[in-house]
Amino acid sequence: MSPRGKPRKPKLAFETRLTLMALAAGLPAMIVSLVILWLGKFSSKEQWTLTVVLVSVWLGFSFALRERLVRPLQTVSNLLAALQEGDYSIRARGSRPDDALDEVYREVNTLSQTLQQQRLGALEATALLRTVMSEIDVAVFTFDHGRKLRLVNRAGERLLALPIERMLGRSADDLGLAAFLEGESHRTVQHSFAGGTGRWGIRAGSFREGGLPHRLLVIEDLTRTLREEELQAWKRLVRVLGHELNNSLAPIRSIAGSLGKLIDRAPQPPDWRDDTRRGLAVIEGRAESLTRFLDSYARLARLPQPRFGEVDVAAWARRVAGLETRVPVSIDPGPELRIRADGDQLDQLLINLVRNAADASLETGGAVTIGWRKNGTHLEVLVRDEGPGVANTANLFVPFFTTKPGGSGIGLVLCRQIAEAHSGDLTLHNRKEGRGCEAVLRLPSQ
């Protein structure tokens, strides 16, 4: 219907319009020829014969022109239809070189060859993806917008103890996986599947295919990995504890044996009381050292969860800087910021960093600087010293590793634990400009 409510006239087909245009192009010449023919001094036989010849030629050329234009268009249409159906083997044969129709044919053939190469690449990539998915030991599930399973690999088949043919097309509820598609996208759960029980790493994501939302679910068995990590942690713990216990118990055992022999001697030497006191003092010192070591280890294991509140960064830095009196501590102020954190734990963290920086600067008579800056969504707190630097920074965060005489080796480890409990991190490296080290504490600022 037209905007005024009148029915629209049906449009003529392209071939019909082309034929009418060809006839209209020759119509003036035909009219002039027929007027001259019928008004001239010709016999009726000649007039009718020439009229038939002229009309036949006129119609013949008009329909020939129509055919010459329509046939190439039909050929191109068939080629495009073949490309749409995925048949890239058909090619158009060019007409005369360097004409417009030949250029169209060449472009269509080039398009067909390009699509064929892209299809082969897509098929190879799909085959590679399916091979990788079938071989990896991680269960992968793909659900469509209706929560129907569309893709699963062999690990998923083993996890649910069902053949793939029986799983495809079933809903996430029927498969017992609906709960994993909701909630946090990355989490660890304890769950029992038909194919096994243990701790599982769950990763859920979304993607679009054909304009419709789909869900991707990846389930990884963490039991073996956690057991191996737990075993390695126990080995490291036993190795560290054994080393420290042997360091303390060996001299205690040796001195205790010597004191026992001293008491059993007859007659006893005149200075046996002094020797006994010295031996007992050594035993007491080693016992106190062992107690301090165990207390330090307990501090690492008993770090409480942070209680978040509002912390003013500038006031926090100035408060900690005022506690260090051995070396000058200057403030390199940054932007005015407030963050959500546990103020007590951050105090403990920054005090340890400033104390370590001061210890290093005492050796060279240098100073300590505390600064901060905003870097994207994070706050970076920088503690710089002017000490001699550290020869090996790789072991600084290894528990009980220390470069200071009498150090416990847990200060930096405890600082990193506090930073990670606040979803941040802590690094320490030698300064590129000037001497000394720089500790960088990164904390979320939003």
Model pLDDT for residues 194-225, shown as the tens digit of each residue: 887 788 888 998 888 878 888 999 998 887 67
Q: What confidence tens digit (pLDDT) does each residue in 90-122 have? A: 777 766 666 777 777 777 788 888 888 888 887
pLDDT bucket at 394, cuts 50 / 70 / 90:
low
Check residue 305 and give its pLDDT.
Answer: 82
pLDDT at residue 338, rounded to an integer = 92
The verdict on residue 98 lying in a domain is no
Average model confidence (pLDDT) across the chain: 80
350 shares its domain with 432: yes
* CATH number, domain with residue 393: 3.30.565.10
Give the pLDDT of residue 408: 45
Residue 182, beta-bridge partner list = none
- Does 90 map to a domain? no
Of 84, 113, 146, the residue that ends a domain is: 84
63 or 438: whose pLDDT is higher?
A: 438
pLDDT at position 407, please? 46
Provide the residue type at 72 as one letter. Answer: P
Structural domain includes residue 159: yes
What's the pLDDT at 398?
Answer: 54
Report which of residues 311 and 226 the model is more confident about.
311
Higher pLDDT, 368 or 132: 368
Measuring CA to CA, which residue among 70, 88, 56, 96 is closest to residue 18? 70
Which SS3 state, helix, strand or coil, does residue 169 take? coil
CATH code for the domain of 195: 3.30.450.20
CA distances from 198 to 155, 191, 225 (A): 15, 6, 11
Separation between Cα atoms, residue 275 and residue 69, nearest integer Å: 121
Does residue 104 form part of some domain? no
> β-strand 186-193 against 212-221: which pairing, if any?
unpaired
Judge if 440 and 350 occupy the same domain.
yes
122 within a domain of the structure (yes/no):
no
pTM: 0.42
Q: What Cα–Cα distance (Å) separates residue 446 from each residue in 53, 310, 341, 420?
A: 91, 12, 11, 16
Do residues 310 and 340 touch, judged by C-beta distance below 8 A?
Answer: yes
Residue 127 lies in a domain: no
Residue 12 has pLDDT above 80, yes or no: no
Considering only residues 358 and 277, tell me which one the structure prediction assigns the higher pLDDT: 358
Taking CB atoms within 8 Å and a gap of at least 24, the contacts of 204-210 are 204/180
**219 or 275, higher pLDDT:** 219
* CB of 101 closer than 8 Å to CB of 95: yes
- Mean predicted confidence (pLDDT) in 22-35: 83
How many angstroms separate the Cα of 142 from the Cα of each of 40, 321, 336?
Answer: 86, 55, 47
Reading the block at residue 392, the tokens are 């090996």
Residue 239 — pLDDT band, cuts 50, 70, 90?
low
Domain-terminating residue out of 186, 221, 256? 221
The per-residue pLDDT for 332 is: 93
Distance CA 418, CA 439 (A): 14
Res 148: pLDDT: 92
What's the CA gap between 127 and 244, in Å, rounded?
A: 56
> Measured between alpha carbons, how far is 73 from 92 in angstroms, rounded to an integer?
12
The C-alpha angle 297, 299, 300, rounded to 5 degrees, equals 70
One domain, residues 429 and 349: yes
Per-residue model confidence (pLDDT) at position 401: 46
Per-residue pLDDT, 32: 84
**Cα distances (Å, whole numbers) of residue 149 to 86, 162, 164, 171, 268:** 27, 13, 10, 6, 89
Answer yes or no: is pLDDT of 431 > 50: yes
Model confidence at 7: pLDDT above 60: no
Residues 59 and 184 both lie in one domain: no
Sign (positive or negative) of CA dihedral 18, 24, 29, 31: positive
Return the SS3 of 408. Answer: coil
Instruction: Tell whether 407 and 326 lie within a shared domain.
Output: yes
What's the confidence (pLDDT) of residue 256?
77
Share of the chain above pLDDT 90, in %: 12
- pLDDT at position 313: 94
Domain's final residue, options 247, 272, 301? 301
pLDDT of the residue at 396: 57
Above 70 in pLDDT, residue 27? yes
Q: HSE-up of 229 (CA within 13 Å, CB side)?
A: 5
Verify that 340 and 366 share a domain, yes or no. yes
Phi-psi map region of 376: left, alpha, beta (phi>0 left; psi -120 to 50 alpha):
left
Instruction: Indicate whether 22 and 78 sit together in one domain.
Output: yes
CA dihedral 51→52→58→60, nearest 10 degrees, is -170
Q: How many domains would you assign to the chain?
A: 4
Which letter does DSSP use for residue 192 in this model?
E
Query: Is the model more confident about 35 or about 398?
Result: 35
**How far is it, in rounded angstroms, from Cα 174 to Cα 189?**
20
Decide if 101 is inside a domain: no
The answer to whether residues 315 and 436 belong to one domain is yes
Give the separation between CA 378 and CA 372, rounded to whole angstroms: 11
Does 207 lie in the same domain as 264? no
The residue that leads in pLDDT, 88 or 387, is 387
**Residue range of the domain that includes 203:** 136-221
At 82 the pLDDT is: 80
21 and 68 in a single domain? The answer is: yes
Are 351 and 435 found together in one domain? yes
| Angle 252-255-261 from CA coordinates, rounded to 5° | 140
The predicted model gives 139-164 an average pLDDT of: 89
Top-confidence residue, 133 or 354: 354
Tell me the percentage of the chain whose pLDDT exceeds 70: 81
Quote the pLDDT of residue 143: 92
- Among 21-25, 62-66, 279-283, 311-315, name the most confident range: 311-315
In a domain, 187, yes or no: yes
Pick the range with the lowest mean pLDDT from 47-51, 135-139, 380-384, 389-393: 389-393
Q: Do 329 and 405 sit in the same domain of this protein?
A: yes
